[in-house]
Structure 1
Amino acid sequence: MSDLLLREDRDRVRTLTLNRPDQLNAFNSALYAEVAEALYAAAEDPGVAVVVLTGAGRAFSAGQDLLEMAELAEGESSDLFGADYGFIKLVKALEALDKPLVLAINGIGLGIGLTIIGYADLVLMSTSARLKTPFTSLGVAPEAASSYLLPRLVGRQEAAWILLSSEWVGAEDALRMGLVWRLAEPDALAAEAHQVAATLAKQPISSLRAVKATMTAPLREGAAAARERENALFAELMGGPANAEALAAFAEGRTPDFTKLPPGV
Structure 2
Amino acid sequence: MLQVSDERRVRTLTLDRPEALNAFNEALYDALADALLAAAEDPEVAVVLLTGNGRGFSAGTDLLEMHRIATDPTFERGRHGFPGLVDALVDFPKPLVVAVNGVGLGIGATILGFADLAFMSSTARLKCPFTSLGVAPEAASSYLLPRLVGRQDAAWVLLSAEWVSAAEAQAMGLVWRVCEPDDLLPEARRHAEVLAARPVASLVAVKRAMTAPLRAGIDAARERENAAFAELMGGPANLEALNAFAEGREADFTGM
TM over 0.5: yes
- 2:163 pairs, out of 154, 168, 174, with 168
Matches within 5 A, 1:63-212: 63-75=60-72, 84-212=79-207
Rounded to whole Å, the distance in 2 between the matches of 1:121 and 1:24 is 24
Q: TM-score, normalised by structure 1?
A: 0.94
- 1:239 pairs, out of 234, 237, 246, with 234
- Residue equivalent to 2:253: 258
Q: Which amino acid aligns with 1:12?
A: R
2:26 aligned with 1:29, yes or no?
yes
Q: Which amino acid aligns with 2:35?
A: A
Post-superposition offset of 1:238: 0.5
Rounded to whole Å, the distance in 2 between the matches of 1:192 and 1:155 is 27
Identity of aligned residues (%): 67
- 1:230 pairs, out of 211, 225, 228, with 225
Identify unmatched segments of 5+ residues in structure 1: none
2:10 aligned with 1:42, yes or no?
no
For each residue in 1:116-167, what CA deviation from the matched residue of structure 2 results, as whole angstroms up to 9, or x when unmatched? 0111100000000000000000000000000000000000000000000000
Are the equivalent residues in 1 in contact too, given 2:51–2:57 (CA < 8 A)?
yes
Are the equivalent residues in 1 in contact too, given 2:140–2:225 (CA < 8 A)?
yes
Are the equivalent residues in 1 in contact too, given 2:33–2:80 (CA < 8 A)?
no
Q: Which amino acid aligns with 2:133?
A: L
Q: For 1:258, what is the secondary structure of its paired residue?
A: coil
Q: For 2:48, what is the secondary structure of its paired residue?
A: strand
Count of aligned positions: 256
Rounded to whole Å, the distance in 2 between the matches of 1:11 and 1:178 is 29
Q: TM-score, normalised by structure 2?
A: 0.97
For each residue in 1:76-97, what CA deviation from the matched residue of structure 2 results, as whole angstroms up to 9, or x when unmatched? 59x88xx945101100001111
Are the equivalent residues in 1 in contact too, given 2:135–2:238 (CA < 8 A)?
yes
Post-superposition offset of 1:252: 1.1
Q: Which contiguous aligned blocks of 4+ residues in structure 1 show a shift greater than 3 angstroms?
A: none
Rounded to whole Å, the distance in 1 between the matches of 2:209 and 2:103 is 31
Rounded to whole Å, the distance in 1 between the matches of 2:72 and 2:176 is 40
Are the equivalent residues in 1 in contact too, given 2:119–2:178 (CA < 8 A)?
yes
State the superposition RMSD in angstroms.
Answer: 1.5
Q: Which amino acid aligns with 1:54?
A: T
Post-superposition offset of 1:178: 0.2
Post-superposition offset of 1:75: 3.8
Q: For 2:43, what is the secondary structure of its paired residue?
A: coil
2:3 aligned with 1:6, yes or no?
yes
Identify unmatched segments of 5+ residues in structure 2: none
Are the equivalent residues in 1 in contact too, given 2:30–2:79 (CA < 8 A)?
no
For each residue in 1:93-116, what CA deviation from the matched residue of structure 2 results, as whole angstroms up to 9, or x when unmatched? 011110000000000000000000
Q: Which amino acid aligns with 1:252?
A: E
